[in-house]
Each structure stands twice: as structure tokens, then as C-alpha cells.
Amino acid sequence: RLTPIDASGVEIVGGFWARRQRLNREKTIPHGFGQLQRRGPMDNLRLAAGERGRYQAEADSGGSTFPFLDSDVYKWLEAAGWELARGADAILAAAADEAIGVVAAAQRPDGYLNSFVQVVGGGVPYQDLAWGHEFYCVAHLIQAAVAWRRGLGDDRLLTIAGRAVAHIDAEFGARGRPGIDGHPGIEMALVELARVTGEERHLALAERMLGLRGRGLIGPGRFGPEYWQDHEPVREAATVAGHAVRQLYLDCGAVDAAVELGDEELLTAVRRRWNDLARTRTYLTGGTGSRHRDEAFGDPYELPPDRAYTETCAAIASVMLAWRLLLATGEPEYADAIERAMYNGVLSGLSLTGEEFFYINPLQRRTHRAAEQAGHGRRAPWYPCACCPPNLMRLLSSWHHYLATGDESGVQIHQYADADVTAGGIRLAIRTEYPWQGRVTVRVVQTPDRPWTLALRVPAWSRASTGPVVRHSRQWRAGDSVVLDLEPGIRVTAPDPRADAIRGCVAIERGPLVYCLETVDAPAGTELEDLAWDGGRPPGEVPRPDIEPGVVGIDVPVTHSATPLTAGAIPYFAWANRQVEAMRVWIPT
Amino acid sequence: RLTPIDASGVEIVGGFWARRQRLNREKTIPHGFGQLQRRGPMDNLRLAAGERGRYQAEADSGGSTFPFLDSDVYKWLEAAGWELARGADAILAAAADEAIGVVAAAQRPDGYLNSFVQVVGGGVPYQDLAWGHEFYCVAHLIQAAVAWRRGLGDDRLLTIAGRAVAHIDAEFGARGRPGIDGHPGIEMALVELARVTGEERHLALAERMLGLRGRGLIGPGRFGPEYWQDHEPVREAATVAGHAVRQLYLDCGAVDAAVELGDEELLTAVRRRWNDLARTRTYLTGGTGSRHRDEAFGDPYELPPDRAYTETCAAIASVMLAWRLLLATGEPEYADAIERAMYNGVLSGLSLTGEEFFYINPLQRRTHRAAEQAGHGRRAPWYPCACCPPNLMRLLSSWHHYLATGDESGVQIHQYADADVTAGGIRLAIRTEYPWQGRVTVRVVQTPDRPWTLALRVPAWSRASTGPVVRHSRQWRAGDSVVLDLEPGIRVTAPDPRADAIRGCVAIERGPLVYCLETVDAPAGTELEDLAWDGGRPPGEVPRPDIEPGVVGIDVPVTHSATPLTAGAIPYFAWANRQVEAMRVWIPT
């Protein structure tokens, strides 16, 4: 088992990820608070606290009402907590205080807290566990509370969450009726709550809820029992199935519980599903979940680039799960998966301005398209179902947690960024131009007076001459440094022969980045659909400061009706930030 | 303009289609009546007539209620009407009488008729035109009434339909409020009603409703305004868009109105959309509508074989529209489209036993699949939303209508079957082993004493040496005969280069039939996903009486890990009738 480093033990000080954390802090999180104020979530909680007004959570103009928007406030609060832990900000602190006050006021005297049930649902809790998202909302409340405790030592949210959990525990605990939420999430939150409070009953409730799945408690519903992870017991299901985010959140909870309980069988079940996911249902971008209808995994190898659903939240959930599996096993393949998802499928969910979001992340968009609803094709400032934007916020505000771990042997670096790492008397300064350049320098700033091991992950794309981890074990002295030279050369990637939808194509990758063509970088007067990969000429690197400082673009050799031309490729995460027309990752050969 | 032949003017007397009409009459239609009795639709109408009980139309276990199941009774009655016109059957007649009696009893004294609104919807009509399907249900009532009038001269349903239409006309007619149904259908029904009754006001109401679309009357809704054809005016929309069946039903009504009104602009608009449909959104099977989420057309060339939605009703609707365009223009491409859809995308909706149905008709099914709900992968005896089964019934019971037309010049044969055709003093006996063999013999049994032209369509797949129509003009004598030798050889079809999802594949066709591989016909121990087309060896014909008498199968040369093997291909329409595992139309090269 690897051990996370304290929230304050890693600081990203420059480069690619510092830019993104700054954007998140300065643009995305403030934008998010404004949206929560204007779009309903904050006011809905105020209604639960007794104010008067209309509940705002319209699913669509058909008139149905989303019951889960409280969770967006909690996710935003989690992000705000991590940000305030990274550094004080009076305006952000005031906004967070306001939100915490609203949440506290909304909670009923008996501890129950869910604005939908309290305001429009008749006030009787737990009447619709399948669709109601009541545990799910409390799960995000817990996660926010954990962030505020861990990052700031502030227990205001922890008190609220503890009372909300006690209300659930009284009805669904060991002596209560069996109940599971149609949307998993509370399982991992309860384990985290047990960790920060030391109270075993939270772990016991998580274990109980994990054990109740797959026994028909919810039933088939509209999309089948796999939609809400009630199709097979958690320790039996061999493959991922159903709604992607629900599957991955559930497995996060299963790993958390397995680690706390020493339950190797449960851990093995999750790893088996992860292997299935990684091998048969994961896009090149690290995205997962191909089907639109039920936001679900498709068949093995059903990975259409055009109709890729690949919800931003599913990519985030895969990062969360891979992180837990990395901690539980130490195996670098999980860090590889985190890297692939973060640089591609996760970041594509956020505009370069930080204030617009994709819910869906396809790998192809055609020049000529079917009639589209407003907002399709461009990132939107918010969504009626706004799970993704605050999920991005909380992930980016805590991204430094994912870079390194410690254990008795020393420190393990999993992700590369300009960062200072402090763990167990060891202090490291990591400097790199990653992902644009492959050199990583790790300087020992402070060291204990005993030998220890510095372990550096070698990404899968750079393992020509090494194993997946390079280890340096010695008695270190301050000022020592180690250089890791990765090889982020251009790669021309062929698809798996079973991936039907991308047969006869190649994709371009460089380092951890997947590249794509966009109309605006295509030869004048051509449509992307008429360009084919020209295997007779090599692709070449080209600086693309027009996208963002430091960006390395790739000039792609193509033919258009047998005429050799060149099309510019940019990192996939940066698509749809200029003129939005067509885009494609997979290029016909 | 071509003119349909009277309902009694064409009789299919043998061969492929006689088998299917017999199956429809003897198995499918009786099975359908049983389902209507057991699953709610008949009883719901009885509740509307005052009986007591629970309304049965569960959309899913989530508890929502379908408002459109009356239409299944009407579609079944339409089929029963055509069947009784083809030949008496006391049991069928008694069942139809029972259904007509139930419908008559359900109608309110004011003429309004919709069991959902009357029983569970509060009794106030026209409160939810977007989702309510009230006009849509009346449309199917009208179509049934037209069948009973045309086929049997029985006006019981016509009286009921006339009163239901009068109720709509009073509220939504020229002096009423503007209103259109979220599901088109009534437009074509009203034109037909005008034709059989001679009452111009029905045509005027159809014209009014056609003119009101695309002006925001319904609004965007959950899937955008194109979902219910409210995105653009009918004479302006350049491409097909939204829900496939709704688009095609609407365009059927537009052609019907255009023909009656002599509105060439309106006809041109539909033909423009048809061209877009045929060129960019039609599967090899003639199926259309690729998207599951909203049963909608995808982007141009977005034609995934695995996630092809291709609802049986959409293929049926394309036959209905192509037939109207054929009559309006005389152009044989529309008859080609009817042939392709009927032999492939329509027939695949029905099991060879006649008692099981596909709602969705994919062109690929993998060996290893995502968790599936009950019934997926196999045809089901019925569906909660059972639009397709009775749609198949009414199409098959009237299929002989589609074979031939007449005009002043003579008779035109569009589809080939063993059939006797009588029109305007001309009597023809058509004999053929079509689709298995290409020879068609047309014998003149009776002829008027003047020259006339026999026009025979040459299918697009057999036009090497002829144009699309062969015309024989002469003074015929009884006993004359003409032979048309079509060339139903095996064709290896390459996909359109823009069809991304099937790049690098070929399909096998023979005559009007698309072929597919199924696991049960693959070499022992292989999975379809591991077979590739072997271009070095020719495919060969092989009798497949195990599928059905007369069936010509195709032995397909394939490789498996470089080993040359042979896989058996059968007509696509016959898939999933044996052991149901994997299937694919498009074979990787």
C-alpha cells in the first residue's frame, strides 16, 4: 500500500498544471459560485431553510425536476475548501462561508438534509431511493466536509454531514431496513468519513451498503438493473456495466472499504473490472462510457469516436478509481491511466478560458451535422444537470494530491509537474517542462539522515529502455539531483483491431497527449472528412503558442484527392476553443 | 402521377411474399390480438367506455404511463381490415368486430376518443399536444377506417373516425386555435380521409397543420424542436432531422397534401429531404435513424452498424414515404428504396415464426456484449411501446398494394412476386422465384383492345445493360408474355468513404438482399470478430433450406489468423432466428 501525502505536502509551483490550478482558482470556481447563485442550487437550499420562492431544477422544458442539485453546492464547497487550504482568499472564503451558512440553515432539526425532498418532494425522506439521489447528495456533503477538515481543520461541514449521516444510519444502518442509492457515491464518502472521524460505524454502513447491491433492492427500472449497479453483487460482477459514473464511483467505495477492511477478495473484484474497463471500454483519451441513452458503457470495443458519450464526470471518476487502485497496489499502470485521462478526457471538459464546460467529450465531430440543440458543439457556461463543472473544480483544486505518495521506503513520484514535495522529512523540488518536454529534474532539498528510495514512474509511452518505475536508493544529501529523460516523441497509434468504429485509421500522440485535427487548422478549402493520413511523409513538431504558451503542435501529412497537404494537429484537450467546426482524433489511412 | 390499383386488383398468389402474407394472417395478426387483449390496449378502451379497472400502459417500472396505446388497436384493426378484404375469416372477423365495438363504446358523446385522457388524464382534451399523441391516435383510427371502407365497404370505423376528427376540427380548424401533435401522422390520415369521403375540410385541416410546424408552437422540449418536427417549416427544412418516424410520417402527409393541392413547392421540399436521407442517413438495409437516445437521425454518414437504432417503424415509414413519392413522380429510385427496405430493414423486425418482433435492427451484434436487459438480442413477443408489431401487420396485409400501379399508358410493375394484377381491363399473371432467382415472367391474361405499355422496373442492382425501366408497348393479346431476366449475382459492396463506422469493411449482397454472418454459421471455435474477408477467393452460392425453403445462402471466404476458412452468410432479414449470438453485415477486410 502507498500512502497519500498530506494535503499541504505537495505544491505545484509552475508550468502546465500551475496554470490550470490558477485558472480554476481565479476563473472557474468564482464562475461556479455565480452559477450556483443564479441557477437554483443555492436558492433551493434557502427554500429548504424556510425562505419563500420557486424551486429551480428544471430537467428540461418537459417540466420534470432534478432532485440532485444540492450536490453541486457541496462539490463546489469541496473545491473551495481545497483552494483555501492552498492559500487564503478573502472573497472565496466569504462565498464559502455563505454557502456553508445556507447548507446549515437548510438542515432539518432531525439532521435530514435534501432541498428537493424538503421543498417539492413532500418532506418524507427516502421514498425514492432509485431516482432520488438522497444518499448521493449526502456523499458529496461528506466529501466537502472531509476537504474542510483535512485542508483547513474546519469542522463546520463535518458537523452537518455527521448529522445527515446519522439520519441515514438510523433508518438504514445495521438495525434498519436495507437501502441503497440508485447513484452510488456514499460508499466512498462514508469510508473517508470514518477515516477523518475515526468512527467505525461509518465504515460499517459503507460495508453494509456495498453488500446490499446486486440483490434486486432497486429493480430493473428504465435502463436495466445495471444502470444503478443493482445487477450483480459488488464482489461478483466480472465486468464494468451500466452507467459509467455510477460504476466507477461504486468501485471507488469498494476499494476504499477493501483497504480499510483488508478485504482482498473485494479488491480483486474491482481490479478485475478495471482490467476489463482498461482493455475493452476505454477511449484513447482515457474517457469511458460510450452510450448516450443511459450514459453507459457499451459492448467491449464499442468505442465510436463520433457518438462517444465519455462524460467528463466519467473521466474524473476513472481518475478517482485509478488513484485508489494505485494506493492499494502500488502498480504504475494505474498512474498511467490517471495521466492519460487527466491530459485528455478530463481537461477537454474545460475551456481554456476556464468558464465553459463540456459534459460530453466526443473524439470526432463532423463538418456537416444533424440539427443540433443550442450549446451542442461548444462548451456551455453551465448545464441543467451540472455535475461536471464542479467535479472539474474539485479535481483541479486537489490535483497536487495525485502527484506523489510516500511509504516506508521513501517517496514515489507518479505525475510530473513543477512541484515541491514534502513528506516524512524529505523535501524535493521537481522541475520540468512536462508535458511539452520530457526532461524531469528532481532535486533533494532536504533529507533525513537515513537511506531512502526515490521512485519515478516511467510512463508507458516512454518505456523503450526501462521498466515502468526507475528507483534511486541511497543516502541522499541536500542538493543531490536526479534527471529522468522521457521520450515524448510523436507516436502514430493504430487502433485495436476489435475497435470496429476506428478501423482503417491512425491517431497521433505525443508524450501523454492525444492530438486532434480541427477545421480551423486544415488546409484552406478542405473538409476534415476528405483528408487521409499520408504514410509516406513524417509528421513534424511545430510550436503552437497561439493555443497556449509552450504548446507543441504537430504538422500532420495528409492527402486530399491524392494531393499532399499538411494539416495542423493540436492537443485534444484544447479543441473547440477557437472556431468550432469539425474535429477528429482518428484519421483515415 | 401514377395511380394505385384498387385494393382488390392485386393478389399475391405464391412465393416469398405469399408465405409472408400467410404468416401474417395466420400467426402474427392473431398473436397481436392476444397481446392487445392481455397487455392493456383493449382493456384501456373498455375503461374509457365505463368499465372499472386499472389502466395498463406502463412505460417502465419507473411508473410513467404511455398515452398512445390506443393506436396499437387501430393499427391492428387496419391490418385486420386489409386481411378480411383479401379473404373472409370468421374468427378474425369476430375479433375485429369485438375491437370495433370496444372503440365505439369508448368514444365520448362529443366525439372525443382517447383512453389515456379519458381514464387517467383528467378528461380534458388537448392539454399536452407535445407528448399526448391525441391526434396521432386519431390518425391511426382514420387509417383503419380507410382500410375498412376501401377494402370492405364497411363504414363503422369511418363513422367513429369522422366524429373524432370533427372534435379536433372544432378546436383546431380554420376558426380554432393553432395546434400540432408532437408526433406527426394525422396529416396523411386526414388527406386519406378527404379522399375516401370527398370532404374537402379534412384536406384543409391537414394543410393547416402542415403549415403550423416549425413556428415554435411546441417548443424545444427535452430533445430539441426537431424531435417533434417543430424546428423548421415543412417547406423549408433542407434535410431530415430529429425523430426518424416523426420526420417520415410528416413527409408522407406533406406528399399527400402536395399531390391533392398540386403544390409542387411542397413536393420539392420533401424530395430534397428524401435525397438527403437516401444519400447520407440510410443503412444498407434501408433502415434509418441511427441514434438510440431520441430515436433520431444522426449526422450525415453517422451509420454505426452496432448502435444502429433503425427502428422497424422507421423502415416501414420509409416504405410509406417512398411509395407516395413513387406515385407522385413515377421515378423508379423510390421503388428501389421500397425494395431495399422491405427485404431487409422491415422484414428483420419479424421472426420467421411470425410471433416475435425487433423494435431495433442493428447491423452488428458482438460476441461479447455489455450487460443486456431481458429481451435484448432476441426478438420479443411484444413491447411496452408496441408501435412496431402492428405496423408490420398492417404493412404486410397491404403489401400487394405496393407491387403495381396503373396510369393512362398502362401498367407499371414495381415489385416482383408471384401475383395476379387486374387494372383497367388488363389482367396480368406475374410468375417468379424472386428474390432467389432473377427471372420474371409476365403473362397477359386479359387485355383491352387498344395498345398499352407494360413498364417493368429494373432494380438498381441489375442495371448493367438497361435503364431503370423496361417498357413494352404494343397491342397485346391474351397469352402474350414477357420475360425479364434480372441478375441477382453476389455483389461485394464497399462502404461510402464518408461512412466512418464501416471503413475497411465490405458487405455481401445478392439481388435485393443484404447478407450477414452469424456465429452459428461461423467456422467452429471462431468468433465473428476474428474473421476477415479473404479477397483472394470468391464467395459462392449455396442452398440454405434450413433457413426457409428456397433460400440462397452465400459461403463467404474469410481468414482467421491467416488461415483460410469459410463462413456461411444468410439473408439479414433471417438473423436471430436460431441460436442468437453474434451477427455482422459489414466484414472487415
Of B402, B424, B455, the last residue of a domain is B402
CA–CA separation, B454 and B456 (whole Å): 7
Nearest to A292 among B293, B364, B369 (CB): B293
Q: Does residue B549 sit within a domain?
A: yes
**Residues of chain B contacting residue A500, judged by C-beta atoms under 8 Å apart:** 305-306, 364, 501, 588
The CATH number of whichever domain residue B338 belongs to comes to 1.50.10
B371–chain A nearest CA distance, Å: 6
Assign B182 a pLDDT band (cuts: 50, 70, 90).
very high
Q: Which residue of A has its CA nearest to B294?
A: A293
**Residues of chain B contacting residue A65, judged by C-beta atoms under 8 Å apart:** none
Asked whether the beta carbons of residue A529 and residue B498 sit closer than 8 angstroms, the reply is: yes
Q: Does residue B316 sit within a domain?
A: yes
At A63 the pLDDT is 60
Same domain, B166 and B306: yes
Same domain, A466 and A536: no
Higher pLDDT, A89 or B220: A89
Q: What is the mean pLDDT of chain A?
A: 96
Same domain, A548 and A568: yes
Neighbours of B36 (CB within 10 A): 27
**Cβ–Cβ < 8 Å for A357, A388:** yes
Asked whether the beta carbons of residue B299 and residue A366 sit closer than 8 angstroms, the reply is: yes
Give yes or no for residue A162 having a pLDDT over 90.
yes
At B29 the pLDDT is 98
Q: Which residue of B has its CA nearest to A500?
A: B501
Burial string for B379-409 (b: 16+ CB within 10 Å, else e) reads: bbbbbeebbbbbbbbbbbbbbbbbbbbbbee
Number of domains in chain B: 3
At A9 the pLDDT is 94
Same domain, B325 and B411: no
A253–chain B nearest CA distance, Å: 21
**Cβ–Cβ < 8 Å for A342, A350:** no
Same domain, A494 and A528: yes
Q: C-alpha cell of B578?
A: 436460431
Cα(first)–Cα(last) distance of chain B, in Å? 44
CA–CA separation, A316 and A346 (whole Å): 6
**Residues of chain B contacting residue A273, judged by C-beta atoms under 8 Å apart:** none
Q: C-alpha cell of A73?
A: 453546492
Q: Does residue B325 sit within a domain?
A: yes
Summarised one tens digit per residue, pLDDT across range B393-436 is 999 999 999 999 999 999 999 999 999 999 989 999 999 999 99
Range list of β-strands (E), B344-449: 364-365, 404-407, 410-413, 418-423, 426-432, 439-446
Of A485, A515, A535, the last residue of a domain is A485
Asked whether the beta carbons of residue B242 and residue A307 sit closer than 8 angstroms, the reply is: no
Assign B167 a pLDDT band (cuts: 50, 70, 90).
very high
Q: Which of A240, A299, A301, A530 to mutate to test the interface with B (most CBs of B within 10 A)?
A: A299
Same domain, B416 and B524: no
Neighbours of B347 (CB within 10 A): 23
DSSP B295: T
Distances (CA, A) of B13 to A393, B100, B343: 70, 30, 18
In degrees to the nearest 10, what's the CA dihedral of B537, B539, B540, B544? 140
Assign A219 a pLDDT band (cuts: 50, 70, 90).
confident
Q: C-alpha cell of A33?
A: 459560485
At A1 the pLDDT is 86
Angle subtended by helix axes B264-280 and B312-329, to nearest 10: 130
Higher pLDDT, B329 or A579: B329
Residue B418: is it exposed, middle or buried by C-beta count within 10 angstroms (0-12/13-18/19+)?
Answer: buried
At B373 the pLDDT is 63
Cis omega (within 30 of 0) for bond into A564: no
Q: What SS3 state is found at A423?
A: strand
CA–CA separation, A487 and A492 (whole Å): 14
At A314 the pLDDT is 98
Asked whether the beta carbons of residue B501 and residue A500 sit closer than 8 angstroms, the reply is: yes
Summarised one tens digit per residue, pLDDT across range B241-276 is 999 999 999 999 999 999 999 999 999 999 999 999
Q: Does residue B31 sit within a domain?
A: yes
Q: Does residue A107 sit within a domain?
A: no
A13–chain B nearest CA distance, Å: 43
Helices H / strands E in chain B, number of each = 15, 20
Give yes or no for residue A373 having a pLDDT over 70.
no
Summarised one tens digit per residue, pLDDT across range A15-74 is 999 999 999 999 999 999 999 999 999 999 999 999 999 999 877 545 678 999 999 999
Report the pLDDT averaged over residues A184-205: 98
Q: Which of A373, A581, A583, A589 to mutate to test the interface with B (most CBs of B within 10 A)?
A: A373
A54–chain B nearest CA distance, Å: 21
Q: Which of A51-60, A329-338, B170-179, B494-503 shows the lowest mean pLDDT across its residues?
A: A51-60
- Mark residue A179 as left, alpha or beta (left: phi above 0; alpha: psi -120 to 50; beta: remaining): beta
Give yes or no for residue A376 having a pLDDT over 70.
no
Distances (CA, A) of B222 to A61, A373, B105, B227, B408: 6, 10, 36, 9, 49
Size of interface A-B (CB pairs under 8 A): 128
Q: Which residue of B has its CA nearest to A219?
A: B61
A567–chain B nearest CA distance, Å: 19
At B62 the pLDDT is 54
Cis omega (within 30 of 0) for bond into A435: yes
Assign B460 a pLDDT band (cuts: 50, 70, 90).
very high
A10–chain B nearest CA distance, Å: 40
Q: What SS3 state is found at A560?
A: strand
Asked whether the beta carbons of residue A370 and residue B296 sit closer than 8 angstroms, the reply is: yes
- Position of cell 446549515? A104
DSSP A551: P
At A221 the pLDDT is 83
Summarised one tens digit per residue, pLDDT across range A467-515 is 899 999 999 999 999 999 998 999 999 999 999 999 999 999 999 999 9
Asked whether the beta carbons of residue A224 and residue B372 sit closer than 8 angstroms, the reply is: yes
CA–CA separation, B530 and A510 (whole Å): 30
Query: Nearest Cα to A430, choosing from A4, A22, A1, A16?
Result: A16
DSSP B494: P
Angle subtended by helix axes B70-86 and B29-39, to nearest 10: 150
Give yes or no for residue A281 having a pLDDT over 90.
yes
A61–chain B nearest CA distance, Å: 5
Q: What SS3 state is found at B568?
A: strand
**Cβ–Cβ < 8 Å for B66, B385:** yes
Same domain, B452 and B502: no
**Residues of chain A contacting residue B61, judged by C-beta atoms under 8 Å apart:** 219-222
Summarised one tens digit per residue, pLDDT across range A334-359 is 999 999 999 999 999 999 999 999 99
Same domain, B298 and B219: yes
Same domain, B478 and B530: no
Angle subtended by helix axes B264-280 and B244-261, to nearest 10: 150
Distances (CA, A) of B221 to A162, B230, B231: 40, 10, 11
**Cβ–Cβ < 8 Å for A559, A532:** yes
B384–chain A nearest CA distance, Å: 11
Give yes or no for residue A375 having a pLDDT over 60.
no
Of A485, A508, A537, the last residue of a domain is A485
Contact residues for B268 (Cβ-Cβ < 8 A; gap 6+): none
Neighbours of A95 (CB within 10 A): 21
Q: Which of B223, B365, B383, B500 to mutate to test the interface with A (most CBs of A within 10 A)?
A: B500
CA–CA separation, B378 and A42 (whole Å): 48
In degrees to the nearest 10, what's the CA dihedral of A530, A536, A542, A546? 0
DSSP B26: I
Q: Does residue B1 sit within a domain?
A: no
At B63 the pLDDT is 60
Q: What SS3 state is found at A422?
A: strand
Range of the domain at A555: 490-588
**Residues of chain A contacting residue B368, judged by C-beta atoms under 8 Å apart:** 280, 299-300
Give yes or no for residue B60 having a pLDDT over 70.
no
Angle subtended by helix axes A388-397 and A29-39, to nearest 10: 150
What ipTM is given for this predicted complex? 0.90
In DSSP terms, A555 is beta-bridged to A540, A568
Asked whether the beta carbons of residue A298 and residue B500 sit closer than 8 angstroms, the reply is: no
Query: Nearest Cα to A302, choosing from B578, B497, B292?
Result: B292
Please give the single-letter amino acid code of residue A514. Answer: V
Asked whether the beta carbons of residue A296 and residue B223 sit closer than 8 angstroms, the reply is: no
CA–CA separation, B311 and B293 (whole Å): 12
Assign A266 a pLDDT band (cuts: 50, 70, 90).
very high
Alpha helices in A87-185 (DSSP H): 90-106, 115-119, 134-152, 156-172
Same domain, B253 and B127: yes
Q: Which of A226, A500, A559 to mutate to test the interface with B (most CBs of B within 10 A)?
A: A500
Alpha helices in A14-69 (DSSP H): 15-23, 29-39, 41-48
**Residues of chain A contacting residue B131, judged by C-beta atoms under 8 Å apart:** 62
Q: Does residue B3 sit within a domain?
A: no
Contact residues for A79 (Cβ-Cβ < 8 A; gap 6+): A24, A29, A32, A390, A393, A394, A396, A397, A398
Q: Which of A312-321, B215-224, B307-316, B368-377 shows the lowest mean pLDDT across its residues?
A: B368-377
Q: Does residue B255 sit within a domain?
A: yes
Reduced 3-state DSSP string for A294-318: CCECCCCCCCCCCCCCCCHHHHHHH
Reduced 3-state DSSP string for A439-454: EEEEEEEECCCCCEEE
Report the pLDDT averaged over residues B513-526: 97
Cα(first)–Cα(last) distance of chain A, in Å? 44
Query: Nearest Cα to B270, choosing from B250, B242, B298?
Result: B250
Report the pLDDT averaged over residues B488-497: 96
Phi, psi dihedrals of residue B51, rounded to the nearest 5° = -70, 165
Contact residues for B476 (Cβ-Cβ < 8 A; gap 6+): B426, B444, B447, B451, B452, B454
At A374 the pLDDT is 56
CA–CA separation, B467 and A28 (whole Å): 64
Asked whether the beta carbons of residue A307 and residue B307 sit closer than 8 angstroms, the reply is: yes
At A370 the pLDDT is 82
**Residues of chain B contacting residue A533, judged by C-beta atoms under 8 Å apart:** none
Phi, psi dihedrals of residue B109, rounded to the nearest 5° = -55, -30
**Cβ–Cβ < 8 Å for A144, A77:** yes
Q: Which residue of B has its CA nearest to A296?
A: B370
Report the greatest alpha carbon distance in chain B.
Answer: 74
Report the pLDDT averaged over residues A247-271: 98
Same domain, A462 and A476: yes
Nearest to A371 among B219, B226, B302 (CB): B226
Summarised one tens digit per residue, pLDDT across range A394-445 is 999 999 999 999 999 999 999 999 999 999 899 999 999 999 999 999 999 9
Q: Which residue of A has its CA nearest to B586?
A: A500
**Cβ–Cβ < 8 Å for B12, B400:** yes
Same domain, A581 and A513: yes
Phi, psi dihedrals of residue A526, rounded to the nearest 5° = -105, 155
